[in-house]
Structure 1
Amino acid sequence: MNKHWIYVLAAGFLEIGWVSGLKHADSALTWGMTALAILISFWVLLEATRRLPVGTVYAVFTGIGTAGTVIAETVFFQEPFSWLKVLFILILLGGVVGLKLTTTEPDNPEPAEGANR
């Protein structure tokens, strides 16, 4: 796994935090942390798209965020558990893994022409 896939994972996990923050923030500090998580999450996601296919990166990012948010809300915020939710999360994750397995990375590790650093 190259570092750009690690960026995608990091952005996805940050998404879990900021999505939960949007729902549960109730002070200037928690709103500030939520805003910071949004900024860092999207910056890291943009860094990943410099070397990886945008469509696949976005699908993995949203898959991690969706599944992780449902799990976090159930574990930490007592949202109701549902086996149907689990089934749909597994279907979603199966699609994300399928995209990752079928995506070929470019032979040239350099960013596309016109990409700013």
Structure 2
Amino acid sequence: MNRNWAYVIIAGIIEIMWAMGLKYSNNLISWAGTFFLIYVSFVVLMKATKKLPVATVYAVFTGIGTAGTVLVEMVVFGEPFSWTKILFILLLLSGVVGLKLVTTETSKKEGAV
């Protein structure tokens, strides 16, 4: 794995944190932290788009965030376990892995003049 994919994974993990912040923030400090995490996740994500296709990066980013948020909700916050949710998370992750496998890094952003 190269540095650009690491940026996508880091941004996805930060997305999970700010998604939790959107649900559980209840005062000015926690909202400020949530907005800071949103900012940081997109700054890191933009670094990845310098060398990787934007559509693939965004799909992987949202996949990590979606799957991670559902899993954190179940494990940490007691959301009811569901095999159906697990099945669809695995389906989502297989699509994310598939996109990563068929995407190549470019020396410059595609479509740039």
TM-score grouping bracket, smaller chain normalisation: over 0.9
Partner residue in 2 for 1:87: 87
Matched letter for residue 26 of structure 1? N
Confirm or deny that 1:62 pairs with 2:39: no
Q: Secondary structure at the match of 1:77?
A: coil
Deviation at 1:104, TM superposition (A): 1.7
Residue-pair matches, total: 112
In the other structure, the counterpart of 2:28 is 28
RMSD, aligned α-carbons: 1.3
**Residues 111 and 102 of structure 1: CA distance in aligned 2, closer, same or farther (over 3 Å):** closer
Query: What do residues 20-61 of structure 1 show as CA deviations (whole Å, max 9, x unaligned)?
Result: 110110122211110110000011111110111111101110
Q: Is the 8 Å Cα contact of residues 15 and 37 (structure 2) preserved in structure 1?
A: yes
- Aligned positions of 1:1-117 closer than 5 A: 1-106=1-106, 108=107, 110=108, 113=112
- Give the match's secondary structure for 1:67: helix
Task: State how far apart, in whole Å, the 2-side matches of 1:6 and 1:44 are.
Answer: 10
User: Could you list the runs of 4 or more consecutive aligned residues of structure 1 that deviate by over 6 angstroms after TM superposition?
Assistant: none
TM-score normalised per structure 1: 0.90
Normalised by the length of structure 2, the TM-score is: 0.93
* Identical aligned residues as a percent: 58
Show structure 1 runs of 5+ residues with no match.
Answer: none
5+ long unaligned stretches in structure 2: none
Post-superposition CA distance 1:59-109 (Å, at most 9, x none): 110010000000011111111110000000000000000000011222x2x
